[in-house]
Amino acid sequence: MCHTVVDCGLEVVTRQLVRNLRQVAQQQQPCGVDLTLRQVSEWTSTATIDFDNTNRQAAKTSTLPFDRTSHAITLPPGAYLIDFNEIVQIPRNYMGSIFPRSSLWRSGVGIAAGVVDAGYEGAMGPLMEVKSHNGVVLYRNGKLAQMVFEELGQSVEGYKGIYQAATSRVGRDGAP
What integer best gives the mean pLDDT of the chain? 88
- Specify the pLDDT at position 7: 67
Query: Half-sphere exposure of residue 62, counting CA atoms within 13 Å on the CB side?
Result: 6
- Specify the pLDDT at position 148: 93
- Specify the pLDDT at position 175: 44
Lowest mean pLDDT among 34-38, 48-52, 75-79, 133-137: 48-52
Residue 133 scores a pLDDT above 90? yes
Closest CA relative to residue 90, chosen from 168, 175, 160 = 160
Delineate the domains of the chain, giving CATH numbers in brackets. 5-44+58-151 (2.70.40.10)
How far apart are the C-alpha atoms of 37 and 145, rounded to whole Å?
A: 9
Percent of the chain topping pLDDT 70: 90
How sure is the predictor about 173, in pLDDT bands with cuts at 50, 70 and 90?
very low
How sure is the predictor about 5, in pLDDT bands with cuts at 50, 70 and 90?
low
Beta bridge partners of 96: 116, 149
How sure is the predictor about 61, in pLDDT bands with cuts at 50, 70 and 90?
very high
- Mean pLDDT value across residues 76-82: 97
Sort strands 94-100 and 87-89 into parallel, antiparallel or unpaired.
unpaired
Q: Which residues contact 20 (CB under 8 A, 6 or more apart)?
A: 85, 86, 87
Whether the Cβ atoms of residue 153 and residue 1 lie closer than 8 Å to each other: yes
- Specify the pLDDT at position 104: 93
Percent of the chain topping pLDDT 90: 65
